[in-house]
């Protein structure tokens, strides 16, 4: 029998979102309710006035899409279809919970808090906190609904990408997290021309493809594999998520929307200047706010465990109050619309590994800032500068976005970069985006505490001479 829904919530994107009793119990915890007070796009709200949506409704949307996709994947997979109805329902419920809980560990100001953590030398992130809260605080609720330790571990393993399976729809490939945030952020910022995605077309064409060990190795090594005649393929354990080439235009639109939303919303120069100001404010008040100070040099998520109660109160409103109370200069500049201005911009391609070594390097960032400030001093320009390297990175692992297609009566699976039909007839824009490394990039800026055009021009020239002559991503 299908999942029994206890309630429904009105949603501007999907119409109605239905919730089960278990989901209702999780939603009504203080750990989940705190997401009501954490903006999805904190800096963008100063550029797009209606962008006041939160992690709360985004998490509900991801739960909704995860359930829809899980149900379709199950009914397209012979092996999963053979399960008893109760087992299938429980599997769908687990995938929905994975979507619901994927952001439960986010700190105030969403990804901006990740930048604060990086700047205070913490070796943890919101995914660590999500795992901790699920394991320690949500677990007892799941137990009351007949979910055991194995189920809880599977949910956290799906979220942390330690297990690949049906629950990977939340974080892997073209995932339901991205499908919701692009559409929802575009709706609330008023940029639907940039971010709207054909979600239904993509979900309707996603599949679980079971592979032999040899096929899996071929796909990993060559980026393409021809599916062989295998007796009882449904009994194979290894399965990957793939998208039928019937949805290739929707896939192309997804990648293009993602690029446009990063450039127009997430990396918007004013939004980023404000977000860097928020990071500076958190650093300035950290010693006077015990829960913030706790994160300095934090090396593992378990250090937060005795303070989870305090973490529940750590949200945008709490911190804005503390920042105003401490009369942080950065917040006054933001409220007076005198945030830093962009003096110089530089866009480069970056892999995930390079981003980890490059963008998160405080030493590198401070080195550039000090070099620019030294030159400014020689020019008698008394202006502070900040090198902004935004989180998160515009990146997607195209090696794990798989396309299923038919060639002369034979089924093939290809990583999208190896899919031979990205041509003029099918997805020419996507082909160009992949060829020119437009699917993973980093946009860094030198921000300056001045609005004087001539000073900004001089600072920009100095920054250009230093940064374009300095270390790049690829040395």
Secondary structure percentages of the chain, helix, strand, coil, to 5:
55, 15, 30
53, 184 in Cβ contact below 8 A? yes
What is the per-residue pLDDT for 183?
97
> CA-CA distance, 10 to 26, in Å (whole number)?
18
Q: Count other Cβ atoms within 10 Å, centred on residue 68.
A: 20
Q: Which of 55, 31, 52 is nearest to 42 (CA)?
A: 52
Measured CA to CA in angstroms, residue 364 lies from 5, 360, 370, 387 at distances of 52, 9, 10, 10
341-349 and 441-448 strand pairing? antiparallel
284 sits in the region (left: phi over 0; alpha: psi -120 to 50; else beta) called: alpha
Distance, CA of 400 to CA of 183 (rounded, Å): 22
Confirm if 444 and 321 have CB atoms less than 8 A apart. Answer: no
For residues 333-351, one letter each, b for 16 or more C-beta atoms within 10 angstroms of the residue's C-beta and e for the rest, the string is bbeeeebbbbbbeeeebbb
One pLDDT digit (tens) per residue for the chain, 475 residues: 478 999 999 999 999 999 999 999 999 999 999 999 999 999 999 999 999 999 999 999 999 999 999 999 999 998 999 999 999 999 999 999 999 999 999 999 999 999 999 999 999 999 999 999 999 999 999 999 999 999 999 999 999 988 888 888 888 778 999 999 999 999 999 999 999 999 999 999 999 999 999 999 999 899 999 998 888 888 898 888 999 999 999 999 999 999 999 999 999 999 999 999 999 999 999 999 999 999 999 999 999 999 998 999 999 999 999 999 998 888 888 888 888 999 999 887 776 667 666 667 888 889 999 999 999 999 999 999 999 988 766 666 666 789 999 988 889 999 888 887 776 567 888 888 888 877 777 788 999 999 999 999 999 999 999 988 654 433 3
């Amino acid at each position: 029998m299908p999942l029994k829904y206890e309630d429904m919530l009105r949603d501007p994107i999907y119409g109605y979102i239905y919730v089960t009793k278990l989901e209702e119990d999780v939603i009504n915890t203080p750990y989940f309710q705190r997401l009501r007070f954490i903006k999805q796009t904190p800096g963008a709200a100063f550029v797009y006035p209606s962008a006041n949506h939160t992690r709360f409704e985004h998490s509900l949307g991801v739960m909704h899409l995860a359930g829809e996709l899980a149900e379709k994947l199950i009914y397209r997979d012979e092996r999963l279809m053979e399960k008893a109805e109760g087992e299938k329902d429980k599997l769908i419920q687990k995938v929905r919970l994975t979507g619901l809980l994927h952001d439960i560990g986010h700190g105030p100001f969403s990804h901006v808090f990740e930048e604060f953590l990086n700047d205070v030398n913490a070796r943890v992130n919101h995914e660590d906190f999500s795992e901790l809260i699920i394991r320690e605080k949500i677990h007892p609720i799941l137990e009351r609904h007949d979910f055991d330790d194995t189920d809880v571990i599977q949910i956290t393993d799906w979220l942390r990408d330690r297990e690949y399976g049906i629950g990977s729809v939340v974080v892997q490939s073209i995932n339901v997290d991205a499908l919701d945030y692009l559409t929802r952020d575009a709706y609330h910022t008023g940029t639907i021309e940039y971010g709207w995605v054909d979600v239904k077309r993509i979900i309707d064409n996603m599949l679980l493809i079971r592979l032999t060990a040899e096929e899996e190795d071929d796909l990993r090594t060559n980026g393409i594999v021809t599916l062989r005649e295998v007796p009882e393929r449904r009994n194979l354990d290894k399965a990957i998520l793939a998208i039928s080439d019937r949805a290739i235009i929707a896939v192309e639109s997804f990648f293009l929307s993602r690029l446009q939303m990063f450039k127009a919303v997430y990396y918007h120069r004013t939004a980023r200047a404000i977000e860097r100001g928020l990071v500076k404010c958190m650093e300035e008040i950290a010693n006077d706010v015990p829960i913030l100070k706790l994160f300095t040099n934090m090396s593992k998520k378990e250090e937060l465990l005795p303070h989870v109660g305090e973490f529940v109160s750590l949200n945008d409103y709490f911190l804005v109050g503390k920042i105003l109370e401490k009369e942080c200069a950065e917040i006054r500049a933001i409220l007076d619309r005198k945030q830093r201005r962009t003096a110089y911009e530089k866009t480069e391609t970056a892999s995930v590994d390079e981003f980890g070594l490059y963008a998160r390097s405080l030493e590198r960032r401070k080195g550039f800032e000090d070099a620019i400030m030294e030159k400014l001093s020689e020019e008698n320009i008394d202006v502070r500068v900040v090198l902004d390297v935004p989180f998160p990175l515009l990146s997607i692992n195209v090696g794990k976005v798989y396309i299923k297609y038919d060639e002369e009566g034979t089924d093939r699976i290809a990583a999208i970069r190896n899919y031979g039909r990205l041509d003029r007839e099918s997805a020419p824009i996507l082909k160009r985006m992949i060829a020119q490394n437009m699917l993973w990039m980093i946009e860094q800026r030198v921000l300056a505490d001045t609005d004087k055009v001539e000073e900004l021009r001089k600072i920009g020239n100095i920054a250009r001479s230093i940064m374009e002559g300095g270390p790049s991503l690829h040395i």
